[in-house]
Amino acid sequence: MLIGNKLRRLRKLRGLTIEELADNSEITKGFISQLERDLTVPSVTTLKQILDVLGVEMSAFFSDMSETEKKLFTHTDRIVNQENEYYKIENIIPKMKYLEMEPLFLTIEPHSKYDTEFGEDEGFGFIVRGKVEVKVDHEKKIMNRGDCFYIFFDNKLSIKNLAGKSAEILMVNY
Protein backbone atom coordinates (compact mmCIF):
# COMPACT_ATOMS: atom_id res chain seq x y z
CA MET A 1 0.00 0.00 0.00
CA LEU A 2 1.43 3.36 -1.03
CA ILE A 3 1.00 6.11 1.56
CA GLY A 4 3.59 8.71 0.55
CA ASN A 5 1.37 10.96 -1.53
CA LYS A 6 -1.25 11.08 1.20
CA LEU A 7 1.34 11.93 3.86
CA ARG A 8 2.78 14.71 1.67
CA ARG A 9 -0.68 16.18 1.04
CA LEU A 10 -1.55 16.12 4.75
CA ARG A 11 1.79 17.73 5.64
CA LYS A 12 1.28 20.51 3.12
CA LEU A 13 -2.33 21.05 4.22
CA ARG A 14 -1.02 21.58 7.75
CA GLY A 15 1.51 24.09 6.41
CA LEU A 16 4.52 22.08 7.54
CA THR A 17 7.85 21.64 5.83
CA ILE A 18 9.51 18.23 5.80
CA GLU A 19 11.95 19.55 8.39
CA GLU A 20 9.17 20.77 10.71
CA LEU A 21 7.32 17.45 10.47
CA ALA A 22 10.57 15.58 11.13
CA ASP A 23 11.45 17.74 14.16
CA ASN A 24 7.96 17.52 15.67
CA SER A 25 7.71 13.75 15.18
CA GLU A 26 11.35 13.13 16.21
CA ILE A 27 12.15 11.39 12.90
CA THR A 28 14.85 12.38 10.42
CA LYS A 29 13.83 14.57 7.50
CA GLY A 30 15.53 12.07 5.16
CA PHE A 31 13.19 9.35 6.40
CA ILE A 32 10.14 11.62 5.95
CA SER A 33 11.33 12.40 2.42
CA GLN A 34 11.69 8.69 1.64
CA LEU A 35 8.21 8.01 3.06
CA GLU A 36 6.65 10.70 0.89
CA ARG A 37 8.28 9.18 -2.18
CA ASP A 38 7.21 5.65 -1.16
CA LEU A 39 10.85 4.51 -0.98
CA THR A 40 10.42 3.05 2.51
CA VAL A 41 7.67 1.76 4.79
CA PRO A 42 7.32 3.00 8.38
CA SER A 43 6.72 0.88 11.43
CA VAL A 44 3.31 1.29 13.06
CA THR A 45 4.94 3.27 15.88
CA THR A 46 6.73 5.63 13.48
CA LEU A 47 3.58 6.18 11.42
CA LYS A 48 1.64 6.94 14.60
CA GLN A 49 4.26 9.54 15.59
CA ILE A 50 3.87 11.25 12.21
CA LEU A 51 0.07 11.10 12.20
CA ASP A 52 -0.05 12.51 15.75
CA VAL A 53 1.83 15.60 14.52
CA LEU A 54 -0.51 15.85 11.52
CA GLY A 55 -3.55 15.52 13.80
CA VAL A 56 -4.94 12.45 12.06
CA GLU A 57 -6.07 9.22 13.71
CA MET A 58 -4.57 6.03 12.26
CA SER A 59 -8.05 4.61 11.56
CA ALA A 60 -9.09 7.77 9.68
CA PHE A 61 -5.83 7.76 7.68
CA PHE A 62 -6.45 4.24 6.39
CA SER A 63 -10.26 4.38 6.17
CA ASP A 64 -10.27 6.17 2.85
CA MET A 65 -7.12 4.72 1.25
CA SER A 66 -9.16 2.94 -1.41
CA GLU A 67 -11.24 6.05 -2.09
CA THR A 68 -10.19 7.80 -5.28
CA GLU A 69 -10.80 11.45 -5.88
CA LYS A 70 -12.37 12.67 -9.07
CA LYS A 71 -9.79 14.07 -11.47
CA LEU A 72 -11.86 15.30 -14.42
CA PHE A 73 -14.42 18.09 -14.15
CA THR A 74 -16.82 19.81 -16.51
CA HIS A 75 -18.49 23.21 -16.47
CA THR A 76 -21.49 21.66 -14.69
CA ASP A 77 -19.32 20.67 -11.69
CA ARG A 78 -18.68 24.32 -10.79
CA ILE A 79 -20.04 25.66 -7.53
CA VAL A 80 -20.82 29.37 -7.12
CA ASN A 81 -18.73 30.58 -4.20
CA GLN A 82 -19.77 34.23 -4.20
CA GLU A 83 -22.03 36.25 -6.47
CA ASN A 84 -23.35 39.80 -6.64
CA GLU A 85 -24.26 42.31 -9.34
CA TYR A 86 -20.57 43.11 -10.04
CA TYR A 87 -18.85 39.74 -10.13
CA LYS A 88 -19.21 35.98 -9.68
CA ILE A 89 -16.61 33.60 -8.21
CA GLU A 90 -16.95 29.89 -8.96
CA ASN A 91 -15.01 26.97 -7.50
CA ILE A 92 -14.14 25.13 -10.70
CA ILE A 93 -13.01 22.05 -8.80
CA PRO A 94 -15.42 21.23 -5.98
CA LYS A 95 -13.88 20.84 -2.55
CA MET A 96 -11.77 17.72 -2.51
CA LYS A 97 -10.62 16.03 0.66
CA TYR A 98 -6.94 16.84 0.15
CA LEU A 99 -7.05 19.93 -2.05
CA GLU A 100 -3.72 21.78 -2.09
CA MET A 101 -4.70 24.43 -4.62
CA GLU A 102 -7.98 26.26 -5.00
CA PRO A 103 -8.75 27.05 -8.65
CA LEU A 104 -11.42 29.74 -9.02
CA PHE A 105 -13.12 31.31 -12.01
CA LEU A 106 -13.85 35.02 -11.61
CA THR A 107 -16.32 36.72 -13.95
CA ILE A 108 -16.47 40.51 -13.68
CA GLU A 109 -19.38 42.36 -15.24
CA PRO A 110 -18.72 45.22 -17.71
CA HIS A 111 -17.19 48.32 -16.07
CA SER A 112 -17.30 46.67 -12.64
CA LYS A 113 -14.63 46.02 -10.05
CA TYR A 114 -13.47 43.18 -7.80
CA ASP A 115 -11.47 44.03 -4.64
CA THR A 116 -10.05 41.67 -2.04
CA GLU A 117 -7.35 41.33 0.59
CA PHE A 118 -5.55 38.21 -0.52
CA GLY A 119 -5.68 35.79 2.41
CA GLU A 120 -4.08 32.67 0.91
CA ASP A 121 -0.35 31.95 0.98
CA GLU A 122 0.10 32.85 -2.67
CA GLY A 123 -1.61 32.52 -6.00
CA PHE A 124 -1.90 33.74 -9.54
CA GLY A 125 -4.46 34.95 -12.02
CA PHE A 126 -4.68 34.41 -15.77
CA ILE A 127 -6.82 36.70 -17.92
CA VAL A 128 -8.99 34.37 -20.00
CA ARG A 129 -11.14 37.06 -21.61
CA GLY A 130 -11.37 40.82 -21.51
CA LYS A 131 -9.40 43.97 -20.84
CA VAL A 132 -8.86 44.72 -17.17
CA GLU A 133 -6.87 46.98 -14.91
CA VAL A 134 -5.12 44.87 -12.27
CA LYS A 135 -3.71 46.46 -9.15
CA VAL A 136 -1.63 44.40 -6.71
CA ASP A 137 -0.78 46.65 -3.76
CA HIS A 138 0.72 49.75 -5.43
CA GLU A 139 1.59 48.18 -8.80
CA LYS A 140 -1.05 48.74 -11.50
CA LYS A 141 -1.24 47.59 -15.12
CA ILE A 142 -3.75 47.27 -17.98
CA MET A 143 -3.92 43.58 -18.90
CA ASN A 144 -5.53 41.64 -21.73
CA ARG A 145 -6.31 38.03 -22.59
CA GLY A 146 -3.26 35.85 -22.02
CA ASP A 147 -1.66 38.14 -19.41
CA CYS A 148 -1.23 37.01 -15.81
CA PHE A 149 -0.40 38.27 -12.33
CA TYR A 150 1.06 36.80 -9.13
CA ILE A 151 -0.01 37.61 -5.58
CA PHE A 152 1.23 36.90 -2.05
CA PHE A 153 -0.71 36.55 1.20
CA ASP A 154 -0.27 40.17 2.30
CA ASN A 155 -1.31 41.77 -1.03
CA LYS A 156 -4.40 43.81 -1.81
CA LEU A 157 -5.88 42.83 -5.16
CA SER A 158 -8.15 44.99 -7.30
CA ILE A 159 -9.38 44.07 -10.79
CA LYS A 160 -11.44 46.54 -12.80
CA ASN A 161 -13.16 45.46 -16.03
CA LEU A 162 -12.49 48.17 -18.62
CA ALA A 163 -14.62 46.67 -21.41
CA GLY A 164 -18.28 46.52 -22.31
CA LYS A 165 -18.30 42.70 -22.05
CA SER A 166 -17.70 40.40 -19.09
CA ALA A 167 -14.08 39.73 -18.17
CA GLU A 168 -13.02 36.23 -17.10
CA ILE A 169 -10.03 35.42 -14.93
CA LEU A 170 -8.76 32.02 -13.84
CA MET A 171 -7.32 32.34 -10.33
CA VAL A 172 -5.41 29.66 -8.46
CA ASN A 173 -4.78 30.08 -4.74
CA TYR A 174 -2.20 27.95 -3.00
CATH code for the domain in which residue 55 is found: 1.10.260.40
Domain containing 164 equals 75-173
Pair 91, 147 in one domain: yes
Pair 154, 100 in one domain: yes
Pair 20, 86 in one domain: no
- How much is the pLDDT for 174? 78
Pair 53, 79 in one domain: no
pTM (2 d.p.): 0.66
Going by C-beta distance under 8 Å and a sequence separation of 6 or more, which residues neighbour residue 123?
A: 150, 151, 171, 172, 173, 174
Mean pLDDT (10-residue bins), the chain, 174 residues? 86 89 94 93 94 89 68 88 95 71 93 87 93 95 97 90 98 87
Pair 59, 80 in one domain: no
Pair 135, 84 in one domain: yes
The amino acid occupying position 115 is D
Residue 125, domain CATH: 2.60.120.10
Judge whether 38 lies within some domain.
Answer: yes
Q: Which of 94, 78, 100 is nearest to 168 (CA)?
A: 78
Judge whether 21 lies within some domain.
Answer: yes
- How much is the pLDDT for 100? 67
Judge whether 69 lies within some domain.
Answer: no
* Overall number of domains in the chain: 2
- How much is the pLDDT for 139? 94
Judge whether 100 lies within some domain.
Answer: yes
- How much is the pLDDT for 69? 64
What strand order describes the sheet that includes 131-136?
A: 113-117, 156-161, 131-136, 139-144
Pair 58, 79 in one domain: no
Pair 116, 86 in one domain: yes
Pair 12, 81 in one domain: no
Judge whether 70 lies within some domain.
Answer: no
Judge whether 68 lies within some domain.
Answer: no
Other C-beta atoms within 10 Å of 168: how many? 18
- How much is the pLDDT for 134? 97
Judge whether 98 lies within some domain.
Answer: yes
Pair 85, 51 in one domain: no
- The Cα–Cα gap between 145 and 129 comes to 5
Pair 98, 164 in one domain: yes
